Amino acid sequence: MPVIRTALLLVICCMFMNSHQAQAVTPQVRLPDWHSTSFSLAEWKPEEGILVISVMVKADQVDLSDISSRLYAPAELNIPVDRHERKTLKKGEKTLFMHKINVKPGFAGWIELDIRAMPDRDGLLELAAKNHAKEPLTLKIVEEEIKTISQPLFIGTSLPVLLSDDIAISTMPEATFRNDFEADDCKYYLWYPPEGLGKGITAEGLKVYSTAIRSGSLTKSESAARMLLRRFETNSEPITIEKKNGETFMLPTAVAADLIEANQLTLQAVTSKRSEELARRLATMEPVYTRPFLYYNLAILENSLKKKTPAIKHLEQALSDLPAWPLAEKLLKQLKK
């Protein structure tokens, strides 16, 4: 039976800003929020095959004890379990675990982060009493649930990892930007819909759009983009592709729309050789998956237009969002010489 993994990129970007809350009971009756976590690809050295993954755990509301972080890589990588521990965290404190593993460019798969922590039960009971002061039945249920906690709770995640010579990113190949669109001796990142993505009208539209993008035609790509965006407005079902390994990749239409919009913003700026509109849009853009690639593309365009200072600024912003980016690091060093 195929395994279905949904690429919810707003959660994955998490590749660089996500957080997760553990719940031990149903959403209707849940434990008080007691922690926060974040995960990111912190450093990538493709020549040495070294990847560093950071894990942050914070004791938001109660003391924590027996905090641990274990990294499990796919068996084919032959990487031993990497484990870090911390005995306690006081309320308000946080800790950072850095997992360092050896892996070569070309890897595309899932890294399992088994993170656990034991919340202080007395602290949880106090929080529950405060949160449900006017809901005695709910309070009773939550209190009983808290009393059953006898060992550290799981607060980890499965992290998609894609490694290439130019970047390490937490996403799947079907949703990644590629640095191979050339214009005026410069290379930009664009998203190319993979073959087989979608069904029926959506699949045909994506195929037309992919052809237009590869040709570099702004007119053709904008026409195809408008058709796809109208389609997404009337059909919000995730776009799927059956992979050879039996998995089903699912791309939410909202994420597909963001990817297409990023492509068009880049093409508009590159075709017109004007950076102002892209810079204006980025100035108010939330930290979503597409933002660092747009910062990078803007920096490349600005550098080609002899605007070195803003190019440096926007490369720094790209790396702030995605630090494991050797290509951007290399370019930044060159511009700062």
52 is written with which tokens? 């560093």
Instruction: Decide if 269 contacts 277 (C-beta within 8 A).
Output: yes
Please tell me the predicted confidence (pLDDT) of residue 28: 57
Kindly report, residue by residue over 140-160, the tens digit of the pLDDT.
Answer: 999 999 999 999 999 999 999
- Average pLDDT taken over every residue of the chain: 90
182 and 136 share one domain = no
The residue out of 146, 163, 180 marking a domain boundary is 163
Considering the domain boundaries, does residue 67 fall inside one?
yes
241 and 312 share one domain = yes
157 and 200 share one domain = no
63 and 145 share one domain = yes
Considering the domain boundaries, does residue 239 fall inside one?
yes
The residue out of 112, 132, 163 marking a domain boundary is 163
Considering the domain boundaries, does residue 5 fall inside one?
no
Please tell me the predicted confidence (pLDDT) of residue 337: 87
Q: What is the mean pLDDT of residues 80-89?
A: 96
Comparing 124 with 25, the larger pLDDT belongs to: 124
- Residue 18 clears pLDDT 80, i.e. is over it: no
Domain span holding position 213: 172-335
Considering the domain boundaries, does residue 6 fall inside one?
no
Dist CA 191 CA 213 (whole Å): 9
Comparing 55 with 248, the larger pLDDT belongs to: 55
Considering the domain boundaries, does residue 10 fall inside one?
no
Residue 273 sits in a domain whose CATH number is 1.25.40
Q: How many CA atoms lie within 13 A of 30 on its CB side?
A: 9
Considering the domain boundaries, does residue 7 fall inside one?
no
- Residue 9 clears pLDDT 80, i.e. is over it: no
Strand order in the sheet with 36-45: 36-45, 50-58, 94-102
Per-residue pLDDT band for 326 (boundaries 50, 70, 90) equals very high
Cα torsion 43, 47, 48, 54 to 10°: value is: 10
186 and 319 share one domain = yes
Residue 140 sits in a domain whose CATH number is 2.60.40.10
Q: What are phi and psi of 192, to 5 degrees?
A: -110, 115
Kindly report, residue by residue over 234-291, the tens digit of the pLDDT.
Answer: 988 999 988 777 778 899 999 999 999 999 999 999 999 999 999 999 999 999 999 9
319 and 192 share one domain = yes
Please tell me the predicted confidence (pLDDT) of residue 29: 67
- Residue 14 clears pLDDT 80, i.e. is over it: no
Dist CA 9 CA 207 (whole Å): 22
Please tell me the predicted confidence (pLDDT) of residue 195: 87
299 is written with which tokens? 């920096």
154 and 205 share one domain = no
22 and 151 share one domain = yes
The residue out of 114, 143, 163 marking a domain boundary is 163
- Residue 83 clears pLDDT 90, i.e. is over it: yes
149 and 274 share one domain = no
Please tell me the predicted confidence (pLDDT) of residue 279: 96
Considering the domain boundaries, does residue 136 fall inside one?
yes
- Residue 7 clears pLDDT 50, i.e. is over it: no
Neighbouring-strand partners of residue 50:
45, 102
Considering the domain boundaries, does residue 195 fall inside one?
yes
* pLDDT above 90 as % of the chain: 83
Instruction: State how many domains the chain has.
Output: 2
Please tell me the predicted confidence (pLDDT) of residue 286: 93
